Structure 1
């Protein structure tokens, strides 16, 4: 059996596996995609618990549009086709909700905004969480997080959020409230919020009792301006399956139902070897691609082998998590260091180290072997070699599962 998997934006990687090996595939659930344009138009025309879009903008003095950075598949440029004519009648700016990520490259600006970029490029703010003078204090969350957000979010009298809703390995789901925290929050605020990801309740598909989500909801409560939220849910081919607009929390929760229909994937039983493929654009670096490791653990037997397949176009990504893992002799030692004091990025290291206690992590990436091997990930340059070695180690009776969109699919063992 020859298996082709995506690797990077436009290329693939393949492996051939003998027919006597037990191989299965877990993909996002198939859903019916109707006319995408109509889907967006109808959602904007019929917002949930909100004024119509035109009415929302009718008395706007200063509008801020919060959009995702290039690590998310959000179809921002597609949404703009339906709102830009109304938006450009106002005094507007865009802000890219980078959280603690870097700002976009020239190519990534086009990935986000498409043909609109030339017209709006002078109205784009790139959020930088580390610039303290750009932040204003909005209060303290129930969990004690000091809420600092970009002053652009306070100076506008109307806010539009364009985002997408997918499972997230510690926030429960992306989208909605996440555009504020971490999207346009200060660095210390993000650090305090992400420390909560160490709690066992902080996991994919979980909102109730999830301290990370609760913190984000507290952040939204401090925002006094009117918000019009545009949430999309994409299928496994990044086609628009659903659009939910209007009230920020109501549109988010409506979108969750559609996201579960796509990404909550039932699984009969766990496998000895799980190959987790992280697709573009989540394959930007290991910091982002780690989501594919965390989702894969849900489908992996104890003492199994998890093989991450992610190009990691920009290398490792976050420095803190890599430095911590790289300076630790064992996963246990890394977790002991985190207990002594948290630094932003350590939640990522903790999730990886926890898996390292009971399974092996291997990686087919473009990251230099000497770098990734320090992070408890055994490096491979091609999928075939990784599969062959895994089967050699686990035996020909081993079961192999391909998680075809590891960054987003959440396996649910029946």
Structure 2
């Protein structure tokens, strides 16, 4: 049974949140169990110190062991100092670990989704066996408890729930596969889509192979503040669905007409373009054909420390890769997916070349030759007028989705 408190119009107080966490966990069979708690990294707004404190009160001395696993996907690992700030604490009896997606010994296969089933789930877009490889902690504990927010998302529709397993604590191959499936649909088409998208269907099928019991505390966070609008607890599929309904009310803004120029101000929690690109994803739908998105992030000085090949491949629309697949099929599909997500919609043919729908301009701390070499436009951030009356300026970009009515 799924239990929910709050709504799009509410802000939950700390006492209400703590009481909800205590009540839900007291009703579960967790005594003497080994529990893996899966939480987001710092690229998501989430009041984790308060939630972790409530969790510690509910589980300390009750669970046999608690491992807190940071769902990095393929993001960079967090340092000890970053983890202290991110989680609060210390929490005696809790072990905290990064998801070591780059380390084969930290991963294990839990089964295979056969090609025929993949074809069904992907609505015919892809058809090959998918090996479901996850962090070993997922199978070495009796219970997996996901704690994390739900936002509109460029790959899956709305984030959260089982997405904390895949891609959150998965191996790089299945991460690449799921992201490329989303790229085939395109970010602009799938972002903010309610219900079970093809990527969500794949993720749910993968999570269904996990032998441990799965629970989720899903959250709807007020973007930029960490305050909570709503929380839902239960099996991941149902808890996620309840919060996705609230997120659709909370995290989507509608405009009556497209705009020509957007200045997307990216917050410092995104420390490279790999993560900071969310400042483009959430705004692409409102930009007029031939318009421009200026991604303003002077603090970002690299495209991706973990995926440097993106500087060589560059940013291109989906069809650039699909119509030259023999050239690109052996590249990491997750890198190709990220490339298409930040370049946005467009077309490519061997005669006319690439025709992007909008212009993407980086006003960051990344060197101009790197930006232009990656097939994006460059602008000195010092020259950007954040009060430009001719531009649609969006502060704290990356979590709230903007769409046309």
CA distance in 2 between counterparts of 1:278 and 1:347 reads 20
CA distance in 2 between counterparts of 1:32 and 1:404 reads 21
CA distance in 1 between counterparts of 2:263 and 2:357 reads 17
Residues 190-199 or 158-167, more deviating: 190-199
CA distance in 2 between counterparts of 1:323 and 1:374 reads 8
TM-score by length of 1: 0.80
Residues 241-250 or 162-171, more deviating: 241-250
The structure carrying a bigger helix percent of its residues is 1
Q: How many residues matched?
A: 367
Match of 1:196 among 173, 181, 188: 181
Q: 1:193 deviation in Å?
A: 1.7
CA distance in 2 between counterparts of 1:211 and 1:270 reads 28
What corresponds to 2:403 in structure 1?
Answer: 412
1:102 and 2:89 matched: no
Q: 1:207 deviation in Å?
A: 4.8
Match of 2:164 among 179, 200, 219: 179
- In the alignment, is the contact (CA less than 8 A) between 1:304 and 1:360 conserved in 2? yes
1:364 and 2:352 matched: no
CA distance in 1 between counterparts of 2:142 and 2:318 reads 48
CA distance in 2 between counterparts of 1:213 and 1:98 reads 18
CA distance in 1 between counterparts of 2:16 and 2:392 reads 34
The runs of at least 4 aligned residues of structure 1 exceeding 3 Å deviation read 30-35, 57-60, 311-314, 330-340, 353-356
Q: Specify the SS of the correspondent of 1:56.
A: coil
1:349 and 2:348 matched: no
**CA distance 1:209–1:256, change in 2 (3 Å):** closer
Q: Specify the SS of the correspondent of 2:309.
A: helix
Structure 2, unaligned stretches of length 5 or more?
1-6, 119-128, 346-354
Q: Specify the SS of the correspondent of 2:170.
A: coil
- In the alignment, is the contact (CA less than 8 A) between 1:268 and 1:413 conserved in 2? yes
Q: Specify the SS of the correspondent of 2:37.
A: strand
- In the alignment, is the contact (CA less than 8 A) between 2:162 and 2:204 conserved in 1? yes
Q: CA RMSD in A?
A: 2.8
What corresponds to 1:265 in structure 2?
Answer: 253
1:41 and 2:15 matched: no
Residues 83-92 or 178-187, more deviating: 83-92
What corresponds to 2:281 in structure 1?
Answer: 294
Q: 1:352 deviation in Å?
A: 2.8
- Structure with larger RCO (C-alpha < 8 A, sep 6+): 1
CA distance in 1 between counterparts of 2:89 and 2:209 reads 34
Structure 1 residues 272-283: aligned runs within 5 Å: 272-281=260-269, 283=270
Q: 1:72 deviation in Å?
A: 1.6
Q: 1:247 deviation in Å?
A: 1.8
1:321 and 2:321 matched: no
Q: Specify the SS of the correspondent of 2:11.
A: coil
- In the alignment, is the contact (CA less than 8 A) between 1:68 and 1:98 conserved in 2? yes
**CA distance 1:322–1:336, change in 2 (3 Å):** farther
TM-score by length of 2: 0.82
**CA distance 1:222–1:60, change in 2 (3 Å):** farther
CA distance in 2 between counterparts of 1:381 and 1:201 reads 29
1:111 and 2:109 matched: no
Q: Specify the SS of the correspondent of 2:278.
A: helix
What corresponds to 2:234 in structure 1?
Answer: 246
